[in-house]
Structure 1
């Protein structure tokens, strides 16, 4: 696989006879021969970099410091990677018999997940014969949905999967 320096044509690697030259300040200088463009790049202590695709008819070249250009590209790529926040799926588990104190603590945790822009899966797990009273779990999930209605919307409605009732909440878009 070719590296970036081989993909970007600079100085003597440019094969066109005539080029459209753009100055270091972004101003168009005009159609000049390749030799004249290389000479002006050498006089300005800059590099001649081809900015148009290889097969374009009037090749467009710019006078820039190539090392600085590569550094700026790497810096922009790393900045865009750091700004792109990955949303993760957090999970909070309840039981149908979860008491009010534990419920309030878990509700605060769900709020913090939602405010941090994370999707949150809420599960109610049934053990033994508790599955016969699955409506208690559904009431619990509906109560959570109603309390978080102002900051979250439901991605996945409450559904029974095996011995668990699941619901997925995600932050509301502003």
Structure 2
């Protein structure tokens, strides 16, 4: 945003600090008018013909803008990707522990990457890993969307699930 002497156009449409239209006038005339009120002339619509400028307290305006930006930043939720690693021969109890971890991550609003790690000859039976991932997806199906179906990548099989959005 350009302020006071930074405004280089000849004519501007001026709006007072109360929102009242003051009409089109020379830029230096508008700057003088703002100066008389101990305020600034701020260009609010530079693309308009002629550009629209507002008489306001620029310091106060910048402060309000920062406050609004801070509030919107506070309301944003950063979604991170958490990972749960399994092996094809995992026992039921260990599977339940990993499932609980995944549920906790999902409850926090994070996406979960479920990875099955194959070693040695286990790679000759990828269907065992796929069964585990499908089993986990079935258990979680009420609360998640499967973003990425189980897929073998090198020695790992990966599936990504995200929490369902409640509207």
Counterpart in the other structure of 1:72: 64
Runs of 4 or more, structure 1, over 6 Å off, are none
1:146 aligns with 2:162: no
Counterpart in the other structure of 2:7: 14
Q: Given the superposition, is the C-alpha separation of residues 165 and 36 from structure 1 closer, same or farther in structure 2, using an over 3 Å criterion?
A: closer
**Residue ranges of structure 2 left out of the alignment (5+ in a row):** none
- Post-superposition offset of 1:93: 0.7
- Post-superposition offset of 1:98: 1.7
Q: Given the superposition, is the C-alpha separation of residues 130 and 56 from structure 1 closer, same or farther in structure 2, using an over 3 Å criterion?
A: closer
Alpha-carbon distance in structure 1 between the residues aligned to 2:59 and 2:22: 22
Alpha-carbon distance in structure 2 between the residues aligned to 1:91 and 1:109: 9
Find the residue that maps to 1:42 and give its secondary structure: helix
1:130 aligns with 2:122: yes
Count of matched residue positions in the alignment of Structure 1 and Structure 2 = 166
- Post-superposition offset of 1:74: 3.1
- Post-superposition offset of 1:64: 0.7
Counterpart in the other structure of 1:161: 153
Q: Find the partner of 1:84 among 76, 85, 88.
A: 76
TM-score norm. by structure 1 comes to 0.80
Alpha-carbon distance in structure 2 between the residues aligned to 1:84 and 1:108: 26
**Residue ranges of structure 1 left out of the alignment (5+ in a row):** 1-7
Alpha-carbon distance in structure 2 between the residues aligned to 1:82 and 1:35: 40
Q: CA RMSD in A?
A: 2.3
